[in-house]
Amino acid sequence: MSRIYNFSAGPAMLPEAVLRQAQEEMSDWQGSGMSVMEMSHRGKEFMSIAAQAEADLRELMAIPAGYKVLFLQGGASSQFGMIPMNLTRDKGKADYLNTGSWSKKAIGEAKRYCEVNVAGTRTEGKFDVPQQGQLKLNAGAAYLHYTPNETIEGIEFPYVPETNGVPLVADMSSTILSRPVDVSRFGLIYAGAQKNVGPAGLTLVILRDDLIGTPIDGTPTMFDYKIHADNESMYNTPPTYAWYLAGLVFQWMKGQGGLEGMARINERKARKLYDAIDASPFYNNPVEPECRSWMNIPFTLANPDLDKSFLEGASKAGLKTLKGHRSVGGMRASIYNAMPEAGVDALVGFMAEFERKYG
Ligand SMILES: *Cc1c(COP(=O)(O)O)cnc(C)c1O
């Protein structure tokens, strides 16, 4: 097996050990004579896989009692609608922080279902986040929604907003499981799986029991949290194989020292790359130092005419999918949990060599 270092923002790399285990179990899961893909979601084999995955996620994130964990489909993008549909029936309005491309999408969708108050934005012309003291929070809001890690811009919140009792809702698609978080600070956490959890097709929703209620009129059954909570995410057929693979990833993370262990590795990987960027006028990252993401690191070359050569050379060296998002340009290295430290070392080495040649 010859593996590349894939810096894609998602779907992204999975741990090689997980892929190998999945390969071994592919056609006969633990003597059952079936692939996990072929199992009934209501059979005892899959029920045990599902329960183990949830227990491991609860342990990793230290999810307190009083929270449900849902294994859904539809991606984080479906949650952009599902959240206002389920949470705004009584209050009719919600606060949102707008810090980048994914915040904007969440806001656009929420406006279809409720009144949206944008309670904080970046400083004009800067890659930063609003400070706690700058937030214009509405005490009557159903919730405050924010994006702890903006995948496209590479901006990460260095703090968890304080909302004085208003439920805090977080799109953690590109930062979940990268470090410990205090789940009790949040009303609802959601994430598409394809960045830090597993393959595409699975969406995690972790929500406080008291937020499960009656959605607005006209909400489709499949968009009702209560239906999924009451049926243990098995109201209809869940994404069984993605759920199983996420479970293997959770086991792998436990072997890496849990989220404390992941955080140590992730911080070190990110620091290596930022140090390489900052050490040279040849490379630039636009994000304010205290808001720099550990997971998505955009950078530009001083001379954008060299972008193409950079990407071609990197690709030849087995460093793939480094092209930046079309809205930002340059490069973007996504270095989620499953990116080995050796991949970051290889990228840093390539950057130094490229600069020697063209700088
Ligand atoms: C990738 C991403 C999304 C979109 O996820 P889908 O699962 O494709 O809908 C939303 N928010 C953030 C922060 C993301 O990184």
From first to last of the 359 residues of the chain, give the pLDDT tens digit.
589 999 999 999 999 999 999 999 999 999 999 999 999 999 999 999 999 999 999 999 999 999 999 999 999 999 999 999 999 999 999 999 999 999 999 999 999 999 999 999 999 999 999 999 999 999 999 999 999 999 999 999 999 999 999 999 999 999 999 999 999 999 999 999 999 999 999 999 999 999 999 999 999 999 999 999 999 999 999 999 999 999 999 999 999 999 999 999 999 999 999 999 999 999 999 999 999 999 999 999 999 999 999 999 999 999 999 999 988 889 999 999 999 999 999 999 999 999 999 98
Q: Give the nearest ligand 1 atom to 192 CA.
A: 7
User: Residue 307's Cα: distance from chain center in Å?
Assistant: 27
Decide: 151 in ligand 1 pocket, CB within 6 A.
yes
CATH code of residue 135: 3.40.640.10
pLDDT recorded at residue 328: 82
Looking at the fold, whether 29 and 62 belong to one and the same domain comes out as: yes
Looking at the fold, whether 352 and 214 belong to one and the same domain comes out as: no
Q: Give the number of domains in the chain.
A: 2
CB-based contact 217:90 (threshold 8 Å):
no
Looking at the fold, whether 232 and 142 belong to one and the same domain comes out as: yes
Looking at the fold, whether 189 and 244 belong to one and the same domain comes out as: yes
Looking at the fold, whether 92 and 222 belong to one and the same domain comes out as: yes
pLDDT recorded at residue 67: 98
- 24 three-state secondary structure: helix
**In this structure, is residue 11 part of a structural domain?**
no
pLDDT recorded at residue 338: 98
* Cα 152 to ligand 1 centre (Å): 10
Q: Give the nearest ligand 1 atom to 150 CA.
A: 13
Looking at the fold, whether 243 and 324 belong to one and the same domain comes out as: no
Residue 45 CB neighbour total at 10 angstroms: 16
Nearest Cα to Cα of residue 234 among 73, 79, 81: 73
Looking at the fold, whether 249 and 262 belong to one and the same domain comes out as: no
Return all residues near 140 (Cβ < 8 A) that are at least 6 apart. 91, 93
Strand-pairing partners, residue 115, are 93
The owner of tokens 């595409």 is 200
Strand-pairing partners, residue 93, are 115
Last residue in a domain, options 225, 255, 285: 255
CATH code of residue 265: 3.90.1150.10
**In this structure, is residue 2 part of a structural domain?**
no
Q: Whose CA is nearest to atom 3 of ligand 1?
A: 76
Length of the chain: 359
**In this structure, is residue 12 part of a structural domain?**
no
Asked whether the bond before 11 is cis by omega within 30 degrees of 0, the reply is yes
**In this structure, is residue 21 part of a structural domain?**
yes
For residue 148, the 8-state DSSP code is S
**Best of 71, 72, 73, 77 to mutate for ligand 1, by most ligand atoms within 8 A of CB?**
77
Q: Which residues of 222-253 are buried (b: 16+ CB within 10 A; e: fewer)?
A: ebbbebbbeebbebeebbbbbbbbbbbbbbbb
The owner of tokens 């969708």 is 109
**In this structure, is residue 3 part of a structural domain?**
no
pLDDT recorded at residue 329: 87
**Residue 64, domain extent:** 17-255
**In this structure, is residue 9 part of a structural domain?**
no
pLDDT recorded at residue 1: 52
Last residue in a domain, options 234, 255, 276: 255
Helix runs in the chain, H state only: 16-25, 44-61, 75-87, 101-110, 225-230, 240-255, 258-278, 307-316, 341-358
Nearest Cα to Cα of residue 169 among 133, 141, 196: 141
Out of 29, 56, 68, 171, pick the active-site residue.
Answer: 171
Looking at the fold, whether 39 and 55 belong to one and the same domain comes out as: yes
Looking at the fold, whether 71 and 126 belong to one and the same domain comes out as: yes
Nearest Cα to Cα of residue 95 among 162, 160, 166, 143: 143
* Cα 192 to ligand 1 centre (Å): 6
Instruction: Give me the DSSP letters along 124-186.
Output: TT-B----GGG----TT-S-EEE-SEETTTTEE-SSPPP-TTSPEEEE-TTTTTSS---GGG-
Q: Give the nearest ligand 1 atom to 172 CA.
A: 13
**In this structure, is residue 142 part of a structural domain?**
yes
Last residue in a domain, options 239, 255, 271: 255
For residue 88, the 8-state DSSP code is -
* Cα 58 to ligand 1 centre (Å): 22
Looking at the fold, whether 220 and 251 belong to one and the same domain comes out as: yes
pLDDT recorded at residue 6: 98
**In this structure, is residue 4 part of a structural domain?**
no
